[in-house]
Amino acid sequence: MQIATDYIHALEGRLRIKVPGIKGSPVRAGELEKQVKWQPGIDYIKANPTTGNVLVYYDSQKIGQKRILKAMQELGYLQFSNSGSLNSLGAQEAKTSTMENLVATVAQSIMEVALTRLVTAII
């Protein structure tokens, strides 16, 4: 899954994604919040028009990251650069892409923790 955004940070139950279409637009950010928060399993959503980031807390037993991203795509807030849709991904390609995203996310999280500990140790 290739998303036309430069930042996704995902943890179990938490998703942060940069949505360029809301940056500088409080109205569009508010619309995104209202349109996505009705999804079953969404506990909290905050779209920040200053940064263009969207923070979502969700119940992973009720909804997954893929469904949240798909909802944002269907509402016109995200674009997928491969074929334009999550539905058109083949099963194997989707598994590979999901695994790559997971590995990248875990690696990024580890680096963030390591950097935080290093800065704390220096201070």
Residue at 3 is within a domain:
no
Report strand pairing: 42-47 vs 8-11: unpaired
Comparing 7 with 86, which gets the higher pLDDT? 7
The predicted pLDDT at position 123 comes to 84
pLDDT above 70: residue 25? yes
| pLDDT value, residue 97 | 59
Neighbours of 34 (CB within 10 A): 11
Confidence of residue 21 (pLDDT cuts 50, 70, 90): confident
Give the position of tokens 């997928």: 80
Closest residue by Cα to residue 101 from 29, 9, 5, 6: 9
- Residue 82 pLDDT class (50, 70, 90 cuts): low
Question: Vertex 70, ends 78 and 99: CA angle to 5°?
Answer: 100
* Site of tokens 């619309």: 31
* Structural domain harbouring 33: 8-122
Instruction: State the CATH number of the domain containing residue 79.
Output: 3.30.70.100
